[in-house]
Chains A and B, each alone.
Chain A
Amino acid sequence: MTRVVITGMGALTPIGNSVPEFEAGLRASKVGFQPITHFDASETGITLAGELHDFEPLKRLGKRDLRRMDAFSQYAMYATAEAVEQAGIDEANTEPETMGVIYGSGIGGLTTIQEQVIKMANKGPQRVSPMFVPTAISNMASGNMAIRYHAKNICTTIVTACASGTNAIGEAFRQIKEGRAQVMLTGGAEASVNEIGIAGFAALSTLSKATDPKRASLPFDADRLGFVMGEGAGTLVLESLTHAQARGAQILGEIVGYGATADAYHITSPDPAGTQAARAMQLAIDEAGVKSTDVGYINAHGTATMGNDSAESKAINSVFGSDSDVLVSSTKSMTGHLLGAAGAIEAVATVDALQSGQLPENVGVVQQDPACQVNLVNADNRDRQTEYAISNSFGFGGHNAVLAFRKWAE
């Protein structure tokens, strides 16, 4: 059976614009929220978001790229440049037809859609930009990536709302495991901190209205208020073990399982019983060929909405048992919810937790909700060497996706 390893990672997040900065942010339990600056949010009822700070796209992208990409594609390409550089993938060591792209985005080019709809309303349909379609469509992060890195194997896009990043990585994992590709660029990107994005999620009452960044995103807390929207991207370079070893690549971690299920229940609410979320976890653990007791850490979906955190806790307990010592944290307490990019940056956080033996804390909890009976990572228990970890992502539509990771060892 082909083993699938991670040889490059990239992260562009509200708490750090590269993997080293992101990891440092996680160690320091840095909270990345500030009042929204991308637009005047004063009439939305929402104050805070996890915007990127000091993002300088020209470090890794050309001026022309910027004109031809919505922000979500720019974020994707920026994070991917970091990952590809670390992996050292190039045409000399990788046959283009064996390298593919499966990338995720929940919404795609929403800022571009907003701008052009406004332009159409104000100036008429004949003034819509010719760049509108090729920048707005959700597959353009993947398309641009294939063009830039000459990846000629499968190139596709996963759109499963807040599970997009995890589903993308899982599907990319399968491409390699089943022998269809040797190298995959995968992950997710989102850039929805704009007026229509904030207004849309606010209308669903899913966003935290908090004004204090330290009390805004509170996964598993009794006083949780909803999520803080974040933006950014995460990328993994996945590779078959034989391909990675043949070119002497540095291996950062291994993906050993993937579970994907559907609630088939409701368009926005998770099934409160968490049955299919639990089954996705069990499938990932089963594919890894281990028992739930071998898993030491769960990077939870943990959005800090009322519905998610209690249903997810129930699902975790049904798989791991209520007396399990598995530790759980939601890094959304620091980054906010990056929607289609969430699972991607959380994969990076999970690989880092296994590598370093330092689990990211579930920041901000004062009073844990009795409906969320899981062992949260805190300052006292965060040092834990563990061989296996899983990362959960769930999305509107009832999409459940779970990845199982193993600390790299031969």
Chain B
Amino acid sequence: MTNDEIFSKVQAIIVDQTGEDKEKVTLTTNIKQDLDADSLDIFEVINEIEDEFDIKIETEEGIETVSDLVTFVEKQLAQEKE
């Protein structure tokens, strides 16, 4: 899966969860600050990402931007291939 594909899936999940416009969700978007998301939104986004990519995200610590999420997914998928 390419980075772009991962991004567009993550973007769709965030758009669905927060109700924000797609254009507002870019790689540099800070999920909590820029999208007015609360802790439940973050939990739910992580849960949806786990379902979508069939991976496990142990902690939401260190995840602030959309880019952080994409990078995390990318790493997990790479690890599972090994």
* Chain A residues close to B by CB (< 8 Å): 62-64, 67-68, 123, 126-127, 129-131, 134
Contacts and interface: CB of A to CB of B under 8 A. Distances in A.
B32 to A, nearest CB: 15
Main SS at interface, chain A: helix
Contacts of A62: 19
Contacts of B56: 126
B18 A129 contact: no
Contacts, number: 23
Nearest to A67: B17
B19 A64 contact: yes
A64 B18 contact: yes
A131 B19 contact: no
A129 B19 contact: no
Nearest to A124: B56
Given A62-B19, A63-B19, A64-B18, A127 B47 contact: yes
B40 interface: yes
A67 B50 CA distance: 18
Contacts of A63: 19
A184 B29 CA distance: 42
B53 interface: no
| 9 cross-chain pairs, A with B, having the tightest CB-CB distances, nearest first | A130-B43, A63-B19, A64-B19, A129-B47, A131-B44, A130-B44, A130-B47, A130-B40, A127-B50
Nearest to A64: B19
B51 interface: yes
Nearest to B56: A126
Contacts of A130: 40, 43-44, 47
Nearest to B54: A123
Contacts of B16: 67
Contact of B44 (A123, A127, A129): A129
Interface of B: 16-19, 40, 43-44, 47, 50-51, 56
B54 to A, nearest CB: 9
A132 B43 CA distance: 11
Contacts of B18: 64
Nearest to B43: A130
A126 B43 CA distance: 12
A406 B17 CA distance: 46
A60 to B, nearest CB: 16
A134 B41 CA distance: 12
13 contacts: A62-B19, A64-B18, A67-B16, A67-B17, A126-B56, A127-B50, A129-B47, A130-B43, A130-B44, A130-B47, A131-B40, A131-B43, A131-B44
A134 B51 contact: no
A118 to B, nearest CB: 13
A72 to B, nearest CB: 19
Contacts of A127: 47, 50-51
B20 to A, nearest CB: 10
Given A67-B16, A131-B43, 16 more contacts: A62-B19, A63-B19, A64-B18, A64-B19, A67-B17, A67-B44, A126-B56, A127-B50, A127-B51, A129-B44, A129-B47, A130-B40, A130-B43, A130-B44, A131-B40, A134-B40
Contacts of A126: 56
Contacts of B17: 67
Nearest to A65: B19
A168 to B, nearest CB: 27
B73 to A, nearest CB: 16
Contacts of A129: 44, 47
A64 to B, nearest CB: 5
Contacts of A123: 51
Contacts of B47: 127, 129-130
B39 to A, nearest CB: 9
B50 A68 contact: no
B16 to A, nearest CB: 8
A64 B18 CA distance: 7
A136 to B, nearest CB: 14
A67 B43 CA distance: 13
